Chains A and B, each alone.
Chain A
Amino acid sequence: MIINGVSYALAAVGAVFVVIGTIGILRFRDVYSRLQASGVSDNAGLGLILIALVVFAGWQSTDWRVLLLLLLLLITNPIATHSIAKSAFTSRHAGMEDPS
């Protein structure tokens, strides 16, 4: 019962992080600001909610897959954010036309 309470608290904090990241993506005015809001808060929210699902209802047989997914997302998500930021920076500074 205590474990389920801890799980609900972690998932609620993670959902708050996801909602804050959404507000940041929606309201910031620059690409780099939006990248910062998205990268930081999405990683925090994903990690907290997935850890909450691992903790939920004790140790189950499906928790290895959730941990594998968490490891995959923690590796690939900063790489994707860095790739978008590097692409935006070098394309802006190469004098290219904005391909929007």
Chain B
Amino acid sequence: MLAIEIAVAASLVVVLWRLYRGPTSWDRLLAYNAVSNRGILLLVLVGISEGRTVLLDVALVYGMLSFLGVVIVSQFLERGVRRL
């Protein structure tokens, strides 16, 4: 399980580069979505393997909030300030 945690954490750090320098805003939004997915995965992996079951609830709430953030920012980029 430790190797899988290391692989997921390394891919999270690599995806942060696309978040830092995406050419458009949608690239940054996509990178944010990918980073939050990998963060949820890392929370669940650490929570199961260390025996801390609180992290599963944290991952559940984090999943809902990151979905809301992605949808709200993409609708904002599509419609603009006035018709949000």
Q: Is the interface of A mostly helix, strand, loop or mixed?
A: helix
A31 touching B27, Cβ below 8 Å: yes
Give bound CA distance, A72 to B18, whole Å.
26
Give bound CA distance, A34 to B29, whole Å.
11
Contacts of A14 in B (CB 8 A): 4
Instruction: Please give the residue numbers on chain A whose beta carbons come within 8 Å of chain B beta carbons, in ascending order.
Output: 8, 11-12, 14-15, 18-19, 21-22, 25-26, 31, 34-35, 38, 42, 45-46, 49-50, 53, 56, 62, 65-66, 68-69, 72-73, 76-77, 79-81, 83-84, 86-88, 90-91, 98-100
> What are 21 A-B contacts with C-beta separation under 8 Å?
A15-B7, A15-B8, A18-B11, A19-B7, A21-B34, A22-B34, A25-B15, A35-B30, A38-B30, A42-B37, A53-B44, A69-B44, A69-B56, A72-B60, A72-B63, A72-B64, A73-B40, A80-B74, A83-B71, A84-B29, A84-B33
